[in-house]
Chains A and B, each alone.
Chain A
């Protein structure tokens, strides 16, 4: 019964997404777990809702769980489908509508981890954080362990928000970024230095005589173009991580999506 009410609520709010331009703020009575597909039983739902409620109000950043049949009901792009649900349901706490949302779309087993831009949520869970967080729950979902996955997600949210509050948000370790950063620094510095060194040499043998061409210029007498054949090469597009996830941003948030 409760699920049916939730489904109706979510559907109603999703419709409002297209029509209501101003957002209301999340209140103490509003929910954080919207299991419209029915993956959880009532006890599981209640337990997760309480957990999400506790984390959200402790850090003033809503942590949401949404399950839908097919994200394409909201938008053909999974990221914008998440944006539509987040905005359409007035998700988020505070003026900046801080929040993190995990959406599961069951039709093709897609997930989207959405983080609201420009505040605590983004500071606590950046792109690297999103990728780290997905690794925590994807294995559960692969085994259809919905409650376990959601629990892991909520725990991770709590941990990330706690670290951010203490001023030590989850960030890529220095040793992981150093080789690439060093490469960028060395290549850029060498390019500048070689440019400066090239300026020291101004004497070169003349290779062409363009300056002495008469005003008529080139008299093109022969022009022949014949198509012979076409070749094709295919390269598999490498995803951002081994799990085949991809990153998106726009609509006031950033997300990482993929399959589970």
Chain B
């Protein structure tokens, strides 16, 4: 049984509305009308509530159907042909019907916003973000798909080791604007680190160079308070890509509204707070260690001997942050790029042309060797 989803439609012409980052408004593709997020939010609040209720009703009905089939099996009927089980692949999938064209959309259980593959209308699954699942914040997209393509082209520049065929023959297979779910952790790291501090003096005495090393027992202790350390809460998103496009500017954090979602994909979290906490803890502890180490500048070097760092955990926020995911394929290999939809920071590993690597190596090594040989001979 397909559940209900919401299309944000233009109140003027009923055309589909998209959230546009540059204007920060919902815009109609057809009549060009622009609406404030708050305006559309108010207009659709009731519809969303109905959609949530319809979804819940659909779930109840689906459960009743399953029970009926079970009862029929118990009465000895052969119900093998009525099985609604789509196998392991269908686990965690959900079906929705598009309010615009009626087509059935099959999505991941965590999908919260998508677009209909038949009519292309952006759709939002309100039930994914209701009640306890409602995110606290959202940072709306500021940059468009065109910005992401331009950023990717710019990413290729100034990289002489990039195979020429990659730049020329490489086509972007897919660009997705995704609101990625993040847990944001508040907290405090406190503790102390013991070091062996060394102050080194080097001087010459007669025919000898004397290195005098003063040894110290050094201890530094303190605390640092962190606010909203983000850890991505979607198993679909690679953690290292999400870490690399940080930081986000939290000045643009808005109270969550589904009205920011039309035109983009969105997932609800499928990695729990407990699963994510360890990564945040590790980063906070490393930051405290780094900050304490930076207070030992009077020493030539400080070697950590032991550390005792405790973490006081604070509030956890749930936020959707904007990410452009770009996927390209070259020589049968997948290349994934991620761009911060707010700041434009783009990351993604590129292939290295080892032929170019050695050519550049030779082009530098040969003249430098010749120049060095000439200088050494003239000395």
By a beta-carbon cutoff of 8 Å, the part of chain A in contact with chain B is 126-128, 171-172, 174, 177-178, 180-182, 184-186, 188-190, 192-193, 196-197, 199-214, 216-237
Contact with A along B354-375 (1 / 0, CB 8 A): 0001001110111111101100
Closest to B212 in A: A232
Stretch at the interface among B23-31, B47-55, B67-75, B285-293: B285-293
Chain A, residue nearest B346 (CB): A202
B120 part of interface (Cβ distance < 8 Å): no
Closest to A216 in B: B225
Could you list 6 further interchain pairs (A-B, Cβ under 8 angstroms) beyond the known A217-B291, A220-B220?
A178-B373, A181-B373, A209-B284, A221-B222, A222-B192, A225-B217
Residues of B within 8 A of A (CB): 155, 158-162, 192, 197, 204, 207-230, 238-241, 243-244, 246-247, 279-280, 283-284, 286-288, 290-292, 295, 347-352, 357, 360-362, 364-370, 372-373, 376-379
The answer to whether B247 and A211 touch across the interface, beta carbons within 8 angstroms, is yes
- Quote the shortest CB–CB distance from B20 to chain A (angstroms): 28
- A185-B368, A193-B357, A210-B290 known; A217+B347 contact, CB < 8 A: no
Task: Please pick, from A210, A211, A237, the residue contacting B208 in the complex, using a CB distance under 8 A.
Answer: A237
A214 to chain B, nearest CB (A): 5
Q: Known contacts A200-B162, A235-B211; decide if A177 and B376 are in contact (CB<8 Å).
A: yes
Does B222 contact A199, Cβ atoms closer than 8 Å? Answer: no
A212, A217, A224, A229 pick with most chain B CB within 10 angstroms: A212
Complex CA gap A111/B351 in Å reads 61
Instruction: Flag if B348 contacts A202 (CB, 8 Å).
Output: yes
Closest chain A residue to B292 by CB distance?
A218
Give the shortest distance, in Å, between B1 (CB) and chain A (any CB). 41
Give CA–CA (A69, B240) in the complex, Å.
75
- Check if A184 sits within 8 Å of B283, measured CB to CB: no
Give CA–CA (A224, B162) in the complex, Å. Answer: 51
Let me know if B211 and A232 touch, CB within 8 A: yes
Interface of B is mostly: mixed
| CA of A23 to CA of B263, assembled, Å | 87
- A237-B222 contact, Cβ under 8 Å, with A190-B361, A209-B280: no
Q: Is the CB of A203 within 8 A of B347?
A: yes
User: CB distance B283 to A228 under 8 Å?
Assistant: no
**CB contact between A200 and one of B161, B240, B370 (< 8 Å): that residue:** B161
* A109 CB to nearest B CB, Å: 16
Complex Cα distance A58/B110, Å?
A: 96
Total residue contacts A-B, CB cutoff 8 A: 211
* Distance (whole angstroms) from the CB of A202 to the closest CB of chain B: 4
Across-interface contacts of A196 in B (CB, < 8 A):
159-161, 357, 360
Bound complex: CA A177 to CA B215 (Å): 41
CA distance in complex: A172, B378 (Å): 8
- Per the bound structure, the CA–CA distance linking A180 and B223 in Å amounts to 51
Contacts of B377 in A (CB 8 A): 128, 171-172, 174, 177
> Contacts of B229 on A, CB cut-off 8 Å?
209, 212
Which of B218, B286, B365, B366 has the largest count of A CB atoms less than 10 A from its CB? Answer: B365
Residues from chain A with a CB closer than 8 A to the CB of B379 are 126-128, 172
| Contact indicator A224/B283 (Cβ below 8 Å) | no
User: How distant is the Cα of A182 from the Cα of B365 in the complex, in angstroms?
Assistant: 8
Residues of A within 8 A of B279 (CB): 206
A212 touches B226 (CB 8 A): yes
Q: In the complex, which residue of chain B has the Cβ closest to the Cβ of A177?
A: B376
The answer to whether B364 touches A231 (Cβ under 8 A) is no
Report B159 CB to chain A, min CB distance, Å: 6
- Chain A residue, CB-CB nearest to B350: A200
| Residue in A172, A181, A203 whose beta carbon sits within 8 Å of that of B349 in the complex | A203
The listed residue (A190, A207, A214) touching B227 by CB distance below 8 A is A214
Bound: A234/B206 CA distance, A: 11
Task: Decide if B224 touches A224 in the complex (CB within 8 Å).
Answer: no
Chain A residues in 8 Å Cβ range of B360: 189, 192-193, 196
Q: How far is the CA of A213 from the CA of B360 in the complex (A)?
A: 42
- A230 is contacted by which of B208, B212, B283, B373 (Cβ under 8 Å)? B212
- Chain B residues lying within 8 Å of A213, measured Cβ to Cβ, are 224-226, 287, 291
Q: Is the CB of A204 within 8 A of B244?
A: yes
Contact of A192 with B376 at beta-carbon distance under 8 Å, contacts A203-B240, A228-B217 already known: no
**A181 and B376: CB pair below 8 A?**
yes
In this complex, what residue of B is CB-closest to A129?
Answer: B379
Once the chains are docked, how many angstroms separate the CA of A225 from the CA of B295?
12
Q: Is the CB of A224 within 8 A of B219?
A: yes
**Residues of A with C-beta under 8 A to B238:** 203
Closest to B366 in A: A185
Partner of A227, one of B214, B226, B348: B214
B279 to chain A, nearest CB (A): 8
Residues of chain B within 8 A of A203, CB atoms compared: 238, 240-241, 244, 347-349
CB-CB under 8 A for A219 and B222, given A184-B369, A199-B159: yes
Q: Which residues of A contact B211 (CB under 8 A)?
A: 232-235
B247 touches A186 (CB 8 A): no
- CA of A227 to CA of B295 in the docked complex: distance in angstroms? 17
Shortest CB–CB separation between residue A225 and chain B, in angstroms?
5
Which residues of the other chain, A, contact B376 by a CB distance below 8 angstroms?
A: 172, 177, 180-181
Q: What CA separation (Å) do A126 and B348 show in the bound complex? A: 53
Q: Which residues of A contact B197 (CB under 8 A)?
A: 225
Looking at the assembled complex, report how far the CB atom of A238 sits from the nearest CB atom of chain B, in whole angstroms: 9
A207 to B214, CA, bound (A): 32
Residue picked from A171, A174, A223, A228, most chain B C-beta under 10 Å: A223
